[in-house]
Amino acid sequence: MIPRNRRTIDLSAIEENMRLIKGTLPAGVRALAVVKADGYGHGAAETARAAIRGGADFLAVATEDEGIQLRKAGLDLPILVLGAVTEGDALCGTENGLIQTVCSPEMVRMCEEAGRKLGKQTEVHLKVDTGMGRIGVRNEAERDATIQALNDAPHVKLTGAFTHFSDADGDEEGVAYTREQFLRFQELIAPLPEGILRHCANSAAIHRMPMYALDMVRAGISLYGYPPVPCDLPLRMCMSWTAKVSYVKEVPAGCFISYGRTYESGEPRRLATITCGYADGYHRRATGKAQVLIRGKRFPVIGRICMDQMMADITGAEEIVPGDEVVLMGQSGDETISAEDLARWSGTISYEILTIAGSRVERVFSGKS
């Protein structure tokens, strides 16, 4: 059966992006590939393997379940779980050799109990909240209490500490705030043991603030070809999204198209119906702004985007017929539509566009898997 629409992942682009990013790092600095949220929609295990071929030293996920899936896929690199450990996760995380994130004495005790039950050490990184406001020790008192708990936990081994920048891709005030976060991080981790991994640089900081690399950097959105700040690296988009033309028709002037009668043809038009809608992850909010590529040409989407279909004005393109490929994201001829374009039309960010595909969207891989 021919799929309604599909996303194609170029694994060679992921590999090359990782290689380019790592090539900018000072000697001895490790590169962590963030493959949470199913590899930002690109496939976690496949993305991880490509990143490793490109030189990744570490992997990171959001949850223990995501880490366990990578272990089941045969990946044995260190895997950091970025979310705060919970009591239910501590045991399975320890059992599968995942690095847990702790930021309170209670979390340390959860990991100690898991390690004691399994007769092995739980490896952890300490999360420091320097201004993101999500999780992490926020001051010296919380830090010291957590350190004391670590000292009292023989089955827990502290191997790293990290923070997350909230505005490294922002304006001058954002840059100044990031510097404050960095200095605060340095202050709070000063009493920690020598030799642990210190990391704080996300994608924006990798390109914009290389002096914050410390011992390791975390490549997220840049790994997938969308650096959040200008950079000189020729990073490539790794995902394309295509659908099909299902129907072509001529309509007279005064014809309404789609729900709500928001579009009326002012003159005779030629229209194509496309096999994709908001149930596939194409934002309804892109109505009135979206464009698609067919046979190397750009066409506007007209009328409201429906659950399963959308319509494009292909007037003047008599060569377009049912069955033609429609590029929703990617390249056709000399024209390109990026996730950032889709995000702008939809009032969101590229991260959501990459991760939002519905269950009907087939995912295929090109390049070495």
Which residue numbers are catalytic? 36, 259
Q: Compute the distance between CA of residue 328 and CA of residue 240 in angstroms, rounded to an integer.
A: 8
Q: What is the 3-state secondary structure (H, E, C) of the chain?
A: CCCCEEEEEEHHHHHHHHHHHHHCCCCCCEEEEECHHHHHCCCHHHHHHHHHHCCCCEEEECCHHHHHHHHHCCCCCCEEEEEECCHHHHHHHHHCCCEEEECCHHHHHHHHHHHHHHCCCEEEEEEECCCCCCCCECCHHHHHHHHHHHHCCCCEEEEEEECCCCCCCCCHHHHHHHHHHHHHHHHHHCCCCCCCEEEEECHHHHHHCHHHCCCEEEECHHHHCCCCCCCCCCCCCCEEEEEEEEEEEEECCCCEECHHHCEECCCCEEEEEECCCHHHCCCHHHCCCCEEEECCEEEEEECCCCCCCEEEECCCCCCCCCCCEEEEEEEECCEEECHHHHHHHHCCCHHHHHHCCCCCEEEEEECCC
By residue count, the chain amounts to 369
Contact present, 127 and 101 (Cβ < 8 Å): yes
